[in-house]
Structure 1
Amino acid sequence: MMLPLTPILGAIATIALIVRVLLIGRRPRNYPPGPPTLPVLGNIHQMPTQDAHLQFEKWAREYGPIYSLMLGTQCLIVLSSDVAVKDLLDKRSAIYSDRQEMYIGQVLCSGGLRLLMMRYGPTWRMFRKMVHGLLNVVTSRNYVPYQMLENKQMLYELLTEPEGFLKHIRRYSNALTTTMVFGWRTPTYEDRKMKQLFDGFSAFAEINQTGAAAFIDFFPLLRKLPAFMLPAQNTARELHTHEKALYKGHWMKAKEDIRNDNINPCFSIGMYDAQKKDGFSDDQACYISGTLLEAGSDTTSSTLYAFVQAMLLFPDVQRKAQEEIDRVVGPHRLPVMDDLADLQYIRGCMKETLRWMPTTILGAVPHAVTQDDEYMGYFIPKGAGVVNNVWANHMDPKRHPSPREFNPERYKDDRQSLGDAAANPDGSKRDAFTFGAGRRICPGIHVAERSLFLGMSRILWAFDIAPEIDGNGKAIIPDPDRLTQGFVCMPEEFPARITQRSKGRADTVTKEWKDAERECLDPTTKQWLQSPIEGVKALRGVS
């Protein structure tokens, strides 16, 4: 007697479905090693909600320079050595420059417009070329006058209101970036739009680090659930609404200034011409310029803030750095860019700050591979995310003995610029991995180097940095391992005592700023009276 065929086929289909579901999250044998998995979840249950960099470093010590994490339906490859980063993200950049789909970060938070998270392809390459036109090693030199002015204001603010040092550092980096991108400067920290930028980016980084975002990314079926069950989606949409309004307001003002021939040399000039040629939308243009503003404002200020903490915690380093500055520069003038070649210890302080407290602590956003690949005998599947494990590389005791010690002597013989070090074909000769790698490397690396050098050398020329004293007369010592959360981070806020090194130096700081303010800025608007950069027209056609 034959059994009915339909129930048998149904049972087989059910079993096949169950097996298929149970295989989700399982690590195939030929993948790089990694922590044990659970069916369906893979390693999601092991992903930390706080200080993820510490767990990623721990796994690197346990599983080696390349390991894998199975996150639901997706695979994440983690690169935790200088050689692995160089071999894959740099040397094989043609296939390691994509992004995975990021539903919360790119679709909901950014309307699909954020260059940082955009998939690799013709559109990304076109926009990347525009950005390169603003920030490449040759063009970026033109913006030194902008950096000098904003630096002088920061020094004066540190002199007159030292307890607000974080806000002065943030204004410095933001004002420089707005001038480079839009042609106007941020004269005061109380600027509402600057506060919105920093607050908005913090919220963006935080929501993209949550478990809810991960589950929605790694299990796409969850996106069909009712909104009340996934409040992160509504939060993301609200962030995008406010962020887009901010960015679009900046861009539309820049367009108006360009049409009225009333704009300083900046990136928006080249993008205006590119938009007329290529026809991309104002929404896309505002996100390209807006996220440049976001990146330039946040990462430079976070690094300078970490530098202040390092000088507070390592007074011997501060003393050695000031001795070098005094020997090379003397007490009567501020350091300038031409002094960099003779301030090797300061160069070391800059590189050591980037290593000791990397702002993009896990490489910001993972790369993705566009085709199946093999490395060290392991299979890397098409579509896998690829993490540049910056913290683990920087804290590798084989590369950097006593890695939590701030020691600029590590770079006493390293005279490479940050860009040259990143491009060095020998991965072991790279100083820091903070700026990323391959075709996704941060294009602002050259501008950042100048801003950091001017900031660090001049702060130490003018000021002493020491711990603040509490009500009981005890020094307040910050914990360098207490960091803000998100894919871009910085030290948790801490107090510090910043005092002038001498009256003569304080007088120089005051005179430099007052002269610049009088000669360069409109007394009412505090905007440039006349651009210090020749040839606005030269930036037309940056694309």
Structure 2
Amino acid sequence: MSQLMKWAGSLPLLALCWAPLLMLALYILLDYIRVLRLRRSMPPGPFPWPLVGNHYQIRLPRPWYYMDELSKQYDSPLITLWRGHQPMVIFHDAWSISEVLDKRAAIYSSRPQMVMLGDSRNASAHDQAVLPYGDVWRQHRRMMHNAVGMQAVRAHRPFQDNEVKVMIRDLLQTPEQFVKAIERYSVSVVSCIGFGRRVDQSDDSVAQMALTFMEGVDLVIPGLFLMESIPFLLQLPRFIYPLASKVVNNGRKIVNFFTSVSHEGATASQPNFSQLLVKEKEAGKLNDEEIAFLTGNLIGGGVDTTASTTITFIFAMCIFKDVQRKAREELDRVVGSDRMPDWSDESRLPYIQAIVSESLRWRTVTILGGIPHAPIQDDVYENYLIPKGTWIAGNVWSIHRNPKDFPDPDVFRPERFLDEARPFPSKKGHSAFGWGRRQCSGQPLAEQGLFLTMARLLWAFEIKPALDENGNEEQLDVFAFGTSENMRPLPFKARFLPRSDQHRDIVLRDGAEAREALRPFDGKSGVQMPELEI
């Protein structure tokens, strides 16, 4: 009897211990039932698991391959994957994603809740890239246009022109370091815009942080971070889930870095974006976190497309030699050998313009279309329900390799952009810069720089693969690209052979003169690159 009374007395304590677990289990069950019912109305996709959705089913690395296979398996340009209990719809066709993100931009111009790119970096309320569509986002977008909009970028041409000449000279003198030379150039241009100070060496703190910031785009890769499927993990203490604390601490350090560099840039002698932002702060229209993200995005976005696309272009030139021959014929006919090409030649160099477009198409930098969009209300497309807040992404790997739009898609063929009759939903003929109202802000700056860079590289050099130990050219694989969403080739070696002594002399002379012209932008930042946790 005493044992029975003792057991009965412990019942309230047992109930107290088990009640939270039972409530959690009930919540997971009811939520899973909601997911399964919702799934019936949405585009097809693999069956989700309770709590984690499709997180453990997504094949890594390069999940865009897996998504492409799903699209073919379900015979649908739209597929649904589940991040925990939140759906993500991935488009695999240029026409369908344009129909939604371009033609229905009034609905699809917001952002979804993002744990890794948003909450973990304290960015959800401060960062233009992840802000929901509204007045704050429009204010940030207007300010960004003041720095890199269509009209603004023309004012940057003098120092951009000189930085390209310095980079071409660097490739002549130290061809084995061509990747560092290209990254230094791309960082330096946006540093001049953002902070009024150029980057002369790749170990500069701004250059180091820019290259680190570029990796942030991987935070949106589906299946890479469990926190994206189970947001609660972000709140756990370090001793239970150390990754959460590392991500939060790194985000805080990066914000502090760009805040300090921006305030330093506001005191520079050369006009720059930071000066505008600090004035807006003094007028009570911005805070330090917003300033940090605006300048950080300028650096990260400006470097991504320019550096990786230029490296991809060099990789393609090593493989598709006939393209180089045709480009040189056009350059010799229009420009000649007495000077480098410049922007005044652009309208007379259609094949070079086509090479820029094909470089952006062939192996697009943001292979999942950048940061996901989200509808601000429930919508229906092709009889499929797309709930409010759903992640909307474009698998550009599939979109730019669709043989209906791009025959022989893995062949680098600029001629496809010379056919004015070729149908495509965007005037550019590709989707490298995204869709709708959230297209990449840095598009005008990137296109302006890519034209001059590619034109001058093709004018100055024969670009060839490296030689192996037997003196034979190394064979490069058109699929040898990395696993980052910021797509670029795996490390490779290339040769940059001057086309003549005259070309070499002009590269050296113009590079030296350009370096002198850039002296007003010289200076070293006093802000040190923080130590980030790996």
TM-score normalised to structure 2 length = 0.88
Contact 1:363-1:389 within 8 A present in 2 as well: yes
1:99-110 → structure 2 map (5 Å cutoff): 99-110=111-122
Amino acid of the residue matched to residue 23 of structure 1? I
Please tell me the residue identity of whatever aligns with 1:331: S
Q: Which of 458, 471, 474 is equivalent to 1:476?
A: 474
CA 1:383–1:216 in 2, change beyond 3 Å: closer, same or farther? same
Pair 1:121 & 2:134 matched = yes
Among 300, 312, 328, the alignment partner of 1:306 is: 312
**CA spacing shift, 1:17–1:210, aligned 2, 3 Å:** closer
The aligned amino acid for 2:267 is: E
Shift of 1:486: 2.9
Give the corresponding residue for 1:145: 158
1:222 CA displacement = 3.3
1:497 is paired with a residue whose SS is strand
Superposed displacement of residue 460, structure 1: 0.5
The structure 1 residue matched to 2:486, chosen from 480, 485, 488, is: 488
Q: 1:82-481 maps to which residues of 2 (within 5 A)?
A: 82-112=94-124, 113-202=126-215, 204-206=216-218, 208-209=220-221, 211=223, 213=225, 215-257=226-268, 262=269, 264-414=270-420, 427=425, 429-481=427-479
Unpaired stretches in structure 1, ≥5 consecutive residues:
1-6, 416-420, 528-543
Deviations 1:99-124, CA, capped at 9 Å, x for gaps: 22222222223554332222222211
Distance 1:116 1:219 in 2: 22
Give structure 2 stretches of 5+ with no counterpart: 1-14, 526-534
Query: Within the alignment, does 1:61 sit opposite 2:59 as a pair?
Result: no
Q: Percent identity?
A: 32
DSSP-derived class of the 1:466 partner: strand
- Kept in 1, the 8 Å contact 2:233–2:244? The answer is no
Which SS does the other structure have where 2:393 is aligned? strand
Query: What's the counterpart of residue 540 of structure 1?
Result: none
Letter in 2 for 1:165: F
State the shift of 1:313 in Å.
0.9
| Partner SS, residue 78 of structure 1 | strand
Provide the alpha-carbon RMSD of the alignment: 2.7
The Cα shift of 1:512 comes to 1.2
The 1-side partners of 2:330 and 2:520 are apart by 37
Alignment partners' CA distance in 2, 1:437 and 1:76: 17
Q: Deviation per CA, 1:367-402, whole angstroms, max 9, x where unpaired?
A: 111100011111111111100221111010110011
Contact 2:43 2:80 in 1 (8 A): yes
The equivalent residue for 1:35 is 46
Which amino acid is 1:359 matched to?
V
Q: Distance in 2 between matches of 1:327 and 1:440?
A: 39
1:74 matched residue in structure 2: 86
- One-letter identity of the residue aligned with 2:70: W
Deviation at 1:172, TM superposition (A): 1.1
TM-score (ref. length: structure 1): 0.86
Q: What secondary structure is seen at the aligned counterpart in 2 of 1:401?
A: coil
Greater shift in the superposed pair: 395-404 or 21-30: 21-30
SS at match of 1:99: coil
Distance 1:525 1:181, change over 3 A: closer
How many residues are treated as equivalent by the alignment?
A: 503
In the alignment, the residues of structure 1 paired with residue 185 and residue 522 of structure 2 have an alpha-carbon distance, to the nearest angstrom, of 19
Partner amino acid, structure 1, of 2:120: L
Q: How far 1:80 moved relative to its partner?
A: 1.7
Among residues 510, 516, 525, which one is paired with 2:508 in the alignment? 510
Q: CA deviation at 1:509?
A: 1.0
- Is this contact kept in 2: 1:178–1:185, CA < 8 A? yes
Q: Distance in 1 between matches of 2:154 and 2:238?
A: 49
Q: Name the CA shift for 1:412/1:40 in 2 (closer, same or farther; >3 Å).
A: same
Q: Using the TM superposition, give the Cα deviation of residue 31 of structure 1 relative to its aligned residue in structure 2, in angstroms.
A: 0.9
Q: Give the whole-Å Cα distance in 1 for the aligned partners of 2:291 and 2:493.
A: 39
Moved more, 343-352 or 192-201: 192-201
Distance 1:452 1:123, change over 3 A: same
Residues 439 and 18 (structure 1 numbering): CA distance in 2 closer, same or farther, change over 3 Å? Answer: closer
SS at 1:247's partner residue? helix
Q: Report the CA distance between 1:15 and its aligned residue.
A: 9.7
Between the aligned partners of 2:392 and 2:308, the Cα distance in structure 1 is 25
Moved over 6 A (4+): 12-16
Which secondary structure does the structure 2 equivalent of 1:77 belong to?
A: strand
CA deviations on 1:15-74 (whole Å, 9 max, x unpaired) are 965741442653522211223334444322221220111112222233322222223210
Shift of the 212–362 alpha-carbon distance from structure 1 to 2, 3 Å rule, reads closer
| Inter-CA distance 209–110: structure 2 relative to 1 (3 Å threshold) | farther
Q: Could you say what secondary structure the match of 2:89 adopts?
A: strand
